[in-house]
């Protein structure tokens, strides 16, 4: 009986760790238009950009942010892995800025292919894609 409880506790711990994302390999990466003058961002810079608190690159060029709907699995993975937030928390920060008049909401697209295409063709654009998504018209930005 004691062995069953130990096994059950171990299974519960593994489920908890999996749900929290600790046992998942990262599924997403940050992508940008090739002309964006940045190759690396700190976590704080990434969060400022994706919460629309930083609207310009160091060169002065406006940042254009592309995202997927909150219900999209890739958007959920991005929020969890890169932003360390739930999607509703990220959306709430956008709504707060939008309704206060101090910011704009990111441009929402329907699919990953559309997101990558928009990032590739929009100067100053940033977004995200699957880690294994291959497209030579975008660049990857590392996060430290």
If one compares 101 and 139, the residue with the highest pLDDT of the two is 139
Weakest mean pLDDT among 41-45, 62-66, 102-106, 135-139: 102-106
**Domain annotation for the chain: domains and CATH numbers:** 26-143 (3.40.190.10)
Query: Against a cut of 0.85, is the pTM above it?
Result: no
Cα–Cα dist 128/115, whole Å: 8
pLDDT in tens, 92-126: 999 998 888 887 889 999 999 999 999 999 999 99
pLDDT in tens, 61-83: 999 999 999 999 999 999 999 99
Exposed/middle/buried for residue 42 (C-beta within 10 Å: 0-12, 13-18, 19+): exposed
Residue 21 has pLDDT above 50, yes or no: no
């Amino acid at each position: 009986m004691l062995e069953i409880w130990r096994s059950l506790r171990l299974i519960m711990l593994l489920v908890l760790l999996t749900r929290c994302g600790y046992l998942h390999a990262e599924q997403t990466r940050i992508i940008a238009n090739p002309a964006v003058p940045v190759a690396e961002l700190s976590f704080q810079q990434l969060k400022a950009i994706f919460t629309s608190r930083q609207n310009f690159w160091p060169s002065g060029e406006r940042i254009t942010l592309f995202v997927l709907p909150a219900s999209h699995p890739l958007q959920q993975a991005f929020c969890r892995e890169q932003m360390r937030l739930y999607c509703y928390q990220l959306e709430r920060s956008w709504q707060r800025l939008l309704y206060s008049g101090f910011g704009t909401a990111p441009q929402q697209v329907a699919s990953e292919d559309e997101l990558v295409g928009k990032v590739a063709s929009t100067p100053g654009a940033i977004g995200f894609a699957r880690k294994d998504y291959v497209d030579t018209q975008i660049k990857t930005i590392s996060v430290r």
